[in-house]
């Protein structure tokens, strides 16, 4: 894929397949996922819990636990290198330096027995070869950048001495330490209250504009995606089932699952207020790779073909793709 500005993507993921071999059976967590990320772009990845959002990016960065996880096949091209084929030593020089990740719960991501200075300075000394004093000065600069007041006085504090929002800011500072080209944010605002969520989102937007990095924002919150992302992919049962520019997706959702997700959002505008919709049923357990449409058991539009084969991701408009046999807008089956 070439973006509208003519530049090639900074990251290309092709046909990624990841499975977990558990005592109960094999979990087909990611089933042939492909997507591109543009330079300076923010890509939203949405879907309910267990749909494969986090596992997709953990696989790209080789962070899944092996065993029980295993990357069965696929490619992830970044600066001419397939990240999935790099050795442990090679991928360590990519993680933190060129690609960084912010996790959902900073209290479990930060080491409780190390002060903030030690934790944030580690990637600076490891990847950039800074001295202890140089790293200290850079840590102060980073803490100020992410909005932590009196940063110099907080260097020797421990994670439990920070609030949830401030801990997440520390995690963002650590992720930005080496000026990565790609920041992966894995539901970083889920554990925070609404006010702090808004502050974190505004902070990331500002940093993105100042630094020019690309962002992959993993979330189940479509409201956050609307504020932050330019493009969004919707995942279900380990598949991408819809992909579009954010404005196009919100104005013209095409997959029944996406329509259900957007229908569950409360509206503030009086003329748009209506009863919230629900998606009946439960997501599949994925002990077997779906050979039919994985959403068919929960879909009110499902017809014979949906129970016979899984639809591929096909283009329905410019930069808009969907995996569905039914054309909801026209009320008839799709060709092909």
- Residues 169-193 as b or e (16 or more Cβ within 10 Å = b): bbbbbbbbbbebbbbbbbbbbebbe
- The reported pLDDT for the residue numbered 5 is 54
Q: Are 124 and 139 in contact (CB under 8 A)?
A: yes
- The reported pLDDT for the residue numbered 187 is 85
Rg of the chain over CA atoms, in angstroms? 21
- SS3 of residue 106 by DSSP: helix
Q: What is the spatial distance between Cα 8 and Cα 3, in angstroms, rounded to a whole number?
A: 6
> Is 177's pLDDT higher than 70?
yes
End-to-end CA distance of the chain: 22
> Is 91's pLDDT higher than 80?
yes
Strand partners, 177: none
Question: How much is the average pLDDT of 241-261?
Answer: 94
Burial of 105 (0-12, 13-18, 19+ CB in 10 A): middle
Q: What is the spatial distance between Cα 321 and Cα 152, in angstroms, rounded to a whole number?
A: 49
Percentage of the chain beyond pLDDT 70 is: 94
For 57, residues 6+ apart whose C-beta sits below 8 A from its C-beta are 45, 101, 184, 186, 216, 218
* Pairing mode of beta strands 42-46, 214-219: parallel
Mean pLDDT is lowest, of 58-62, 160-164, 241-245, for 160-164
> Is 2's pLDDT higher than 50?
no
> Is 313's pLDDT higher than 80?
yes
Question: How much is the average pLDDT of 303-329?
Answer: 93
Q: For residue range 29-73, what is the model confidence (pLDDT) as tens digits?
A: 999 999 999 999 999 999 988 899 999 999 999 999 988 999 999
* Pairing mode of beta strands 182-186, 99-102: parallel
Q: For residue range 280-295, what is the model confidence (pLDDT) as tens digits?
A: 888 888 998 888 999 9
> Is 75's pLDDT higher than 70?
yes
CA 251 and chain centroid, separation:
22
pTM above 0.75, yes or no: yes
And the tokens for 189?
Answer: 């605002």
């Amino acid at each position: 894929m070439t973006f509208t500005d003519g530049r090639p993507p900074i990251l290309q993921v092709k046909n990624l397949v990841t499975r977990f071999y558990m005592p109960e059976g094999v979990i087909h967590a990611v089933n042939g996922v492909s997507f591109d990320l543009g330079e300076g772009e923010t890509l939203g990845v949405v879907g309910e819990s267990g749909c494969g959002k986090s596992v997709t990016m953990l696989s790209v960065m080789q962070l899944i636990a092996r065993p029980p996880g295993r990357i069965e096949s696929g490619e992830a091209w970044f600066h001419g290198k397939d990240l999935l084929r790099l050795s442990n030593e090679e991928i360590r020089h990519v993680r933190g330096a060129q690609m960084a990740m912010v996790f959902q719960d900073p209290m479990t991501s930060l080491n409780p027995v190390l002060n903030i200075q030690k934790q944030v300075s580690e990637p600076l000394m490891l990847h950039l070869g800074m001295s202890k004093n140089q790293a200290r000065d850079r840590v102060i600069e980073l803490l100020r950048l992410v909005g932590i007041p009196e940063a110099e006085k907080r260097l020797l504090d421990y994670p439990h001495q920070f609030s949830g929002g401030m801990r997440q800011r520390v995690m963002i500072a650590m992720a930005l330490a080496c000026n990565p080209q790609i920041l992966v944010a894995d539901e970083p605002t889920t554990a925070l209250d609404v006010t702090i969520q808004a502050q974190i989102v505004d902070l990331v937007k500002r940093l993105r504009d100042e630094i020019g990095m690309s962002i992959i924002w993993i979330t189940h919150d479509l409201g956050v995606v609307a504020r932050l992302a330019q493009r969004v992919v919707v995942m279900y049962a380990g598949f991408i089932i819809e992909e579009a520019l954010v404005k196009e997706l919100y104005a013209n959702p095409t997959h029944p699952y996406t329509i259900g997700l957007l229908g569950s959002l409360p509206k503030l505008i009086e003329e748009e207020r209506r009863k919230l919709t629900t998606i009946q049923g439960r997501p599949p357990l994925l002990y077997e790779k779906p050979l039919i449409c994985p959403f068919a058991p929960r879909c009110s539009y499902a017809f014979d073909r949906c129970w016979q084969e899984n639809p591929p991701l096909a283009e329905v408009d410019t930069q808009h793709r969907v995996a569905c046999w039914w054309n909801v807008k026209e009320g008839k089956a799709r060709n092909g």
